[in-house]
Structure 1
Amino acid sequence: MADPIKTIKLLLVDDHVLVLDGLQARLELEDHIEVIGTACNGLEALNQADKLKPDVVLMDVSMPVLNGLEATKRFREEQPLVKILILSMHYEKEYILSLIQSGANGYVLKDVSSEELVQAITTVHQGGTYFSSGASAALFTDTLTTKQKEPLTKREISVLKEVATGLSNKEIAQSLNISVRTVETHRQNIKNKLEIHSSAGLIKYALDKKLID
């Protein structure tokens, strides 16, 4: 018998009340999501999170008082266990990268379906990263069309396939009958050769090259 899905305690952050109301009404339809609070800016989000202890914060970027970028930096410093999922209308590569570098666990554009938003929340809560297709395209199109300086070896391709299916280094080592240290070395070599330095980017690359379904 499968274990029941753990309820996700969610804090919503947006400076538009109508957006908050709409998100709350939709997400509360999900059995495994509990909206425990809302906030209208980054500072209020930090204060609310300190009191309510959410698992995931779903946050806009363009907000008064303290924007989503600065709030994300502070969350990483003050409440590092909280997962941060950005929900934004901005799709510029530099904009998204700045949020990732600040510690966001995912980035979803506001044109996604409610089903995909639920999937994104669930994914980051489980320790993964999530980027909607529009965000991924903005991030990785330039990288994927850049010519590789060195081709991947057969072993590196094998490791990349395993990485793209979500296996841990230990699981990959067991699957390929190699040491964890060797897996770590291969992963770093893959990232350097492809000039892709995130798990989401490697997954997108593997999908585009049809290394995985």
Structure 2
Amino acid sequence: MVPPIKIAVAEPTSIVRSGLETQLRKLLHYKAQIINLLDENRKEWQDVASVISADIFIINPLLTGSNPRLYLPNLPYETKLLALCHSPYDPIFLKEFDGVISLSDTALQISETIDQLLHNESSSSSASSDSQSLTPREREIIICVVKGMTNKEIAGQLYLSTHTVITHRRNISKKLQIHSPSGLTIYAIMNKLVELEDIKQDL
């Protein structure tokens, strides 16, 4: 039986809310119960957020700024916060969120992100251990991804086949449990693989 999860959504644009709800109903491993916190008839959404119980909050970061837990102080620590991004953000702005999804994400990508968030502590510890086992080549590929290079461009720079690059990227995702370029960017900055100034120069 597919376990249920409660997902609270704080997004001011009705067409985005509608599309997101459609995608959330396609989750692979969970049955989503969706609560729209902000719609045409509910303006004080943060008051509602403080009294409901949800496993995940999906929030447009423009509503809370860079520190959503400061903006929503009554949320339980175990509640996961996902940023719903309409456009690229500076990774530092999103570092207080537990994950990121974007308007271009497929139902599968959203499902993978939510699966990652809801892993238990032992899985998180295992992923942390795996992150220490990245090979030098995998670190090089992460740096290239963070700089916005395509698989073909990475292959050309590192003298690899495109297939090999794709294989490396799959292995990186499995080891780190990170499935998006924005997530890899945050990882790379936090682990000093790149400097924020380097990324800004390449944008």
Specify the code of the residue in structure 2 equivalent to 1:122: D
Task: Give the secondary-structure state (helix, strand or coil) at the position aligned to 1:51.
Answer: coil
Task: Give the secondary-structure state (helix, strand or coil) at the position aligned to 1:165.
Answer: helix
Specify the code of the residue in structure 2 equivalent to 1:125: L
For residues 125 and 74 of structure 1, do their structure 2 counterparts lie closer, same or farther at Cα, with a shift above 3 Å needed?
farther
**2:74 aligned to which of 65, 68, 78:** 78
Root-mean-square deviation (CA, aligned residues, Å) is: 4.0
Specify the code of the residue in structure 1 equivalent to 2:87: H
Task: Give the secondary-structure state (helix, strand or coil) at the position aligned to 1:35.
Answer: strand
Question: What whole-Å deviation, never above 9, does each CA across 1:16-45 have from its counterpart, x for those lacking one?
Answer: 01211222233124361323411228x844
Q: How does 1:55-134 map to 2 (within 5 A)?
A: 55-63=55-63, 67-75=64-72, 77-79=73-75, 80-92=77-89, 95-100=90-95, 103-126=96-119
For residues 17 and 68 of structure 1, do their structure 2 counterparts lie closer, same or farther at Cα, with a shift above 3 Å needed?
farther
Structure with more relative contact order (C-alpha pairs < 8 Å, separation 6 or more)? 2
Query: Counterpart in 1 of 2:147?
Result: 141
**1: CA distance, partners of 2:52 / 2:108:** 25
**1: CA distance, partners of 2:107 / 2:21:** 11
Q: How does 1:195-210 map to 2 (within 5 A)?
A: 196-197=189-190
Specify the code of the residue in structure 2 equivalent to 1:17: S
Query: Counterpart in 2 of 1:52?
Result: 52
| Structure 2 unaligned residues grouped into runs of 5+ | 128-141, 149-170, 178-186, 194-203
Contact 1:85 1:105 in 2 (8 A): yes
| Structure 1 unaligned residues grouped into runs of 5+ | 130-135, 143-160, 168-193, 203-213
**1: CA distance, partners of 2:103 / 2:143:** 15
Specify the code of the residue in structure 2 equivalent to 1:78: N
- Is 1:24 paired with 2:21? yes
Note the C-alpha offset of 1:12.
Answer: 1.2
Note the C-alpha offset of 1:13.
Answer: 1.4
For residues 11 and 68 of structure 1, do their structure 2 counterparts lie closer, same or farther at Cα, with a shift above 3 Å needed?
farther
Q: How many residues align?
A: 139
Note the C-alpha offset of 1:72.
Answer: 4.1
Note the C-alpha offset of 1:46.
Answer: 3.3
Contact 1:87 1:110 in 2 (8 A): yes
Specify the code of the residue in structure 1 equivalent to 2:33: V
Question: What whole-Å deviation, never above 9, does each CA across 1:151-178 have from its counterpart, x for those lacking one?
Answer: xxxxxxxxxx99x7359xxxxxxxxxxx
Q: Percent identity?
A: 14
TM value normalised by structure 1: 0.50
**2: CA distance, partners of 1:118 / 1:73:** 27
Query: Counterpart in 2 of 1:173?
Result: none
Specify the code of the residue in structure 2 equivalent to 1:13: A
Task: Give the secondary-structure state (helix, strand or coil) at the position aligned to 1:78.
Answer: coil
**1: CA distance, partners of 2:143 / 2:17:** 27
